Structure formats: C-alpha cells, structure tokens
Structure 1
Amino acid sequence: MENSALLKAIIENAIDGIITIDCKGTIETINPSACKLFEYEPGEVIGNNISMLMPPPDRDQHDGYLHNYHQTGRKSIIGIGREVTGLRKSGEVFPFRLGISEVQFYGRKIYTGFIHDLSREKQAEEKLKEYAFHLEEQVQQRTCLLNETVTALEEAKEKVSKLLEKEMELGQLKSRFVSMASHEFRTPLSAIQLSSILIEKYSGDAISPNISRHTAKIKILVSHLTGVLNDFLSLERLEAGEFKPVLTAFDIVKFSEEITEDMQLIAKQNQQIIYQHTGTSATVNLDQPLLRNAIINLISNAIKYSGENTFIEFNTEITPSMVTICIQDNGIGIPIEDQKHLFEAFFRAHNTGNIAGTGLGLNIVNRYVQLMDGEVKFISNVNQGTSFTLYFKKSHE
C-alpha cells in the first residue's frame, strides 16, 4: 500500500504530463500536468480514444499505428523519444516531446506516454532565428558600406598614382592624400570595426556561420585598409621630420620576446617564429617605438611572403661593438633585378602577385633605422627566402 501511495503521489505531482492507454488506444489515466497541458478535466478524457488529443493527420493514423504494432511487433515509436504536436481543448496546437513505454500489467499491455511541453523552447528558437535574420541584414549593410569604402579608397589611390606622374613635388601630393585618407576613412573604418565586434558580442554562442563569416571578412578588410593608412601616415611624418629618436636603455631580450608573442598570433597556419639571443649582455640603448615598428614590419613581411608550415628566425646579438637584429624567412624571395629598388617608396617586387601591400614598409624601416644611426642589409634568393639584418653601433649605450 505504501508503494502504491508513493507511486500515485509521484505521478500526481510530476512536472511532465503522464497518460496511460490500453491496447485499443483508450485513455485509462491522466495526471494533473497532462490535464493542464491539454486543458481538460480527467473525466472529459478518460474512457475516450487518445486521438482526441491529436491534431490531423496523427489523429486519423494513430489507431493504424497500434494495429500495425500488434500485427507485426515492430516498434516505430515505442521506446523512442520524438517531437510531436498536441491539440488542446481550445483547439490550439502545441509542440511536445513524447516518450512511450510498454508495460505488461496483469496479462495485458498498457502504454504510458510521458509528455514534456516544448512551447517555450520553440518560442525561444523562433526568436533566435528572427534575431539571427536581423543580424544577417545588419552584416550585409555593413559589408555594403565597407565595399563602398574600399572602392572609394581604391579610386583615391588611383588618383594619387596619376598625380604622382605629373607633379614634381611628391611630398606635397602625399600630404594631401594622407590628410584626406586620415579624415575620410579612419573614422568610418573604426565604426565598421566596432560594429562587427558588437555583432559578434550580442550574438554570443548562437552566432550563425554566415554572420561569423561576414564579420571575419569585415575585420580582415578593415585591418588591411588600416595598415595602408598607417603606412601613408608614417611616411608623411617621416618626410615632415616629426620623428625624433629618443634613445633609452632597455632589455632587448624581453622586448623581442614580447614582439614574438604578439606576431605569433597573426602568423599563418603552423608558421613558427623562433627567437634567439646571443651575447652575455641584453641591454641596448635605442628608440623602442621606432625599433618595434621596424621589427614588426620585417616579421609581418616574413609572415606574408612565406607559406604555411614554415619557420621564421628572429635573432638578436650583442657584441662589444655592435647590436645586430636579424629576421630570416624561407619565402618567395626577391628577384635580383628588383633588389636595387627595394627601399624605394611605393616599389614592390614583380613576384608579389596578389599579395596585399603598399610598397612603403621597407622604405619606412630603412628610414627608422637611419634615424637611430643604424644600417639595413639583406640577402635574398628567389624561392629560397630572405634575410634582413639591422646593425647598430654599440656606442649608443
């Protein structure tokens, strides 16, 4: 008796609906949760066929399911959870997960259905789909805006190239372009970058692959365009004489390890940046920002012009008379006929193909190094890699 009372109490207070039927589909018991779900009193359903709680076409086919099971013994739904729809007394249709078990009870078969309402889950899914759809629309709008910006920048660059051929005073022309680019492009690019970050943030774990693909593309293009603008701005400041080296003593090993860690994050797949230092001393006396920009530019080139699964060597050495910094890759190399023009502004080797670049990086590196009374040398062979070495006299300490 105690066991029966306990079982009844469990069924009566179960959160999910529980209904039992006989082999003909007649409802024998229904717990309060199931009554609440279907909006019936127990007396309204007990003794009736279970199909009264089903919308078409399940209502018309249910007895056929039972008959087929009794004839063949093949279980198509028993013991297998699945999503179905129920019909409330009010005529409203709602989704629920149904699990059916078969029990032998005093020589006859009883079927028990366990009903878990999915209405809230389905509503949440629909809201999420709607939210994802709106986000997709926003991404497309941002992408269109970015494409317009890219087009405007390409048109501006083309105009600059034509003007460079006609005007003798290159510095004045570049100043105009930099001023225009700084005011017209940097602010919208920052807004686009922020919008893509916010889209990912508000999407959270539910972000769709399409949205993720678009935001990743936006970030890559914005990063590329920002790099172009930074190159032009650096050139302008160099030619205006705004860079004045400030020499300070610092630990070049710690300095280089930080750069290596940062650059490893943007390396290609399985590209490894290997840093080593030679010498008993680690202290140098140079301009940290200028040196950092020069090294980052060289390592960026090594990453860009080398393939996946490659090594980039980054070495520093201090001798009694010299500080040496070397970045070496095994990338596409520089054709011999192009090497004499390598440090010229806007020059790019003819084997760079579709690899993005402004042709300003090495010109800027060379001028940064010269500001610190240093020298840049390189060795390069096509398809065998390139080595850039920066030399600074130890007398800077």
Structure 2
Amino acid sequence: MEQARLLEAIIETAIDGIITIDNRGNIESLNPAALKLFGYTIEEVKGKNIKMLMPEPDKSGHDGYIERYQTTREKRIIGKGREVRGLRKNGTTFPFRLAVSEVQYDDRIIYTGFIHDLSKEKEAEERLREYAAELEELVEERTKSLKKTVKALSAAKEEVSLSLEKEKELNQMKSRFVSMASHEFRTPLSSVQLSASLIEKYAHPFENESITKHVGKIKNAVGNLTTILNDFLSLERLEAGKVEPAFSFFDLVKLSEEVTEEMQLIAKQNQNIIYQHTGLTSMVNLDQNLIRNCMINLISNSIKYSGENTFIEFNTEINDHECTVTVRDNGIGIPESDQKHLFQPFFRANNIGNIPGTGLGLNIVRRYVSLMDGSLYFESVINKETTFKLSFRR
C-alpha cells in the first residue's frame, strides 16, 4: 500500500504528462500534467478513445499504430519515442514527444504514454531559424556592401596611385626648377653684390651721401633676395628628404660669437646684439651647420621686427641635462591670434606691414631642430617682446 501511494504521488506530481490506455485505445487515466496540456477534465476523457486527443493524420492512423506497436520490432523502435502533435479541447494543436511502454496489469496489457511538451523548444527553434535567416540576409547585404566598398577602394587606390605619380613628377620638376633657379639667380646676385661693393669703394673719395645711400639699398635688396633663395632651397631639400643631420662635437661659444659678429654687420642703427653664455663647458654634439642656420634665422627676424636703438639678447647655456639657445628682442611681437599658425610654411603675421620675408624661416628652423631631436618654444607679447628658445638633450 505504501509503495502504491508513493507511485500515485509521483504520477500526480510529474512534470510530463502520463496517459494510460487499454489494448483497444480507450483512455483509462491521465495525470494532472496531461490534463492541463490537453485542457480536459478526467471525466471528459476517461473511457473515450485516445484518437480524440489527436489531430489528423495521426487520428486516422492510430489503430494501425497500435497494431504495429504490438510487433517486437516496432516495440524496439517506436517505444523509444517519437514526435507527434496533440489536439487540445479548444481545437489548437501542440507538439510533444511520445514514448510508449507496455505494462502487464491484472492479467491484461495496458499501454502507458509519456508526454513531453515540445512547444517552447519548437518556439525557440523557430526563433533561431528566423534569426539565422535574418543573419544570412544581413550577411548577404553586408557582403554586397563590402564588395561595393572594395570596388570603390580599388578604384580610389588606382586614382590615388595616378595622383601620386603625377605629384612625384611635379615634385621632381619643382626640385629641378628650384636648383636651377638657385644657381641662375645666385650668379647675377653675386655680380650685383660685388659691383655694389666696388662702387662704394671707388666712390669713397667723393664722400657722396647719395651714392652711399643707394649702394646700401642695392646691398639690402641683394641680401633679401639671397635670403629668399636660401629659404626656398632649404625648404626644397627638407621636402625631398635630402637633409640629414651630421652630428659632431664643436665649440658652441665660438660659433655663437661668429654668428653675433656676422649679424651685427646687418643690424639697424644703434641696434646691438648682446651675446652671453652660461655654463662651465662650451662643447656640444649637434649639427653645426643646422644650428648655425637656426641662430641666423632667429636673430635675423629679431633685427627685422625690432626698431633702431634696441637690444637683441642672444644667450646659450650648457648644463648637465641640456643645451639651450635663446634669442629675445623688444620688437613688434606676434599677435596671439597668429601664434598657432606661426610655423606653417609661407605664413606671416598680420602686423608685419611691408617688412620683407618669405614666411618660411620659422618652419625651416622648427624642422632643423626636430632633425636634431630638439624642441622649440616661444613666447610673445604684442609690441613688447618675443623670445625663442631651442632646447637639446645632452
């Protein structure tokens, strides 16, 4: 009795449906899970044929199924379970897996069916199929888009290649032109410079102020043109990657004194370049030509953008950590709105008026400093002062 009550409790509380029928297919019992699945009460189904719970075509073929099941071979195969559909009281159908077993009970045979609802699994499978279809459609669209993009990129690559080839040709032409122009202009400029010096020499005994004045204008004009040529030639060499720093040890103080003396000759009236060095050593490992060019460019700018009767401070410092070169003037300054563009090629501040220049000098200085792994800083206050500082790690 105890075992019978336990078995009954197990059947009553089972998650899957359990149904029993006799050998004619009439329903003897359904557990609560099965009744819930089909939507009937036990009174509505007990004693009725199992076919009432089956939709077509399973309903018409059920008698043949029972007969086939009674053969040994079908017991081995069908008894393992098969997927069928059930018919609810409300007319709807649902999928379930049915496993049937034969039970000997009170000198007769009954059949027990175990019903596992597959509705949620089928819904999940359907969602997966829908997702897979959507994914395939998306992949197909993306593939078409990718092919289109690849085709466009290929066309763009070809166009860029042609543009690069044309640009390469133009750069070669520009390089040849700059080299040619530099050579062709330098020769007559040298002749003009020499002739102006000779005129000044031969006119000296006459002490004619007009001759001295105009000879000075010729020299200044030649100097400006020479500076322009030098700037263009330097930029062309930088753009072509022809400038490689040649590091060597040299006396920075000696170089700075030579530059100071040279630049003082072209300074304005009563414009004085004051050079000072700080440090116990004067030897550095840099490119002497590049650092000299930087010094001349910065001091030249200070001369151009400062008035007469002014001082230009030119300082060098060497300590254990770095070497610095500083040029400070009391000139027109750089407007704050222009400072962010200061190192762009051909840029000139809006307060320079008719002061000559190419707008290339500071760009060249910055690139020379970068080639020597240095840093360039500046500060400027309009109509007060401007300071440029080059810094190199030791």
* TM norm structure 2: 0.54
Matches within 5 A, 1:30-109: none
User: In 2, Cα distance between the equivalents of 1:303 and 1:213?
Assistant: 20
Matches within 5 A, 1:195-210: 195-206=195-206, 208-210=208-210
Aligned residue for 2:188? 188
Distance 1:174 1:310, change over 3 A: farther
Structure 1 gap ranges (5+): 1-166
User: In 1, Cα distance between the equivalents of 2:352 and 2:173?
Assistant: 26
Aligned residue for 2:7? none
Aligned residue for 1:55? none
Q: Does 1:307 align with 2:269?
A: no
Cα deviation, 1:111-167, whole Å, max 9, x if unaligned, reads xxxxxxxxxxxxxxxxxxxxxxxxxxxxxxxxxxxxxxxxxxxxxxxxxxxxxxxx9
Cα deviation, 1:195-253, whole Å, max 9, x if unaligned, reads 22223334441364333333222212111111111111111111122221111112212
User: In 2, Cα distance between the equivalents of 1:383 and 1:171?
Assistant: 40
Cα deviation, 1:23-60, whole Å, max 9, x if unaligned, reads xxxxxxxxxxxxxxxxxxxxxxxxxxxxxxxxxxxxxx
Mean CA deviation greater in 318-327 or 174-183? 174-183
What residue identity is the alignment partner of 2:247?
L
C-alpha contact 1:171 1:239 (8 A) present in aligned 2: no
Structure 2 gap ranges (5+): 1-165
User: In 1, Cα distance between the equivalents of 2:171 and 2:388?
Assistant: 28
Deviation at 1:393, TM superposition (A): 0.5
Aligned residue for 1:353? 353
Aligned residue for 2:89? none
Deviation at 1:379, TM superposition (A): 0.6
What residue identity is the alignment partner of 1:251?
D
Aligned residue for 1:234? 234
What residue identity is the alignment partner of 2:341?
H
Aligned residue for 2:288? 288
User: In 2, Cα distance between the equivalents of 1:171 and 1:358?
Assistant: 20
Aligned residue for 2:380? 380
Matches within 5 A, 1:115-264: 171=171, 174-175=174-175, 177-206=177-206, 208-264=208-264
User: In 2, Cα distance between the equivalents of 1:259 and 1:196?
Assistant: 24
C-alpha contact 1:200 1:207 (8 A) present in aligned 2: no
User: In 1, Cα distance between the equivalents of 2:177 and 2:286?
Assistant: 31
Aligned residue for 2:391? 391
User: In 1, Cα distance between the equivalents of 2:286 and 2:364?
Assistant: 17
User: In 2, Cα distance between the equivalents of 1:368 and 1:186?
Assistant: 23
**Secondary structure, in 3 states, of the residue corresponding to 1:346?**
coil
User: In 2, Cα distance between the equivalents of 1:221 and 1:266?
Assistant: 12
Distance 1:343 1:202, change over 3 A: same
Distance 1:228 1:341, change over 3 A: same
Deviation at 1:341, TM superposition (A): 1.0
User: In 2, Cα distance between the equivalents of 1:215 and 1:266?
Assistant: 14
Aligned residue for 2:369? 369
* TM norm structure 1: 0.54
User: In 1, Cα distance between the equivalents of 2:337 and 2:174?
Assistant: 27
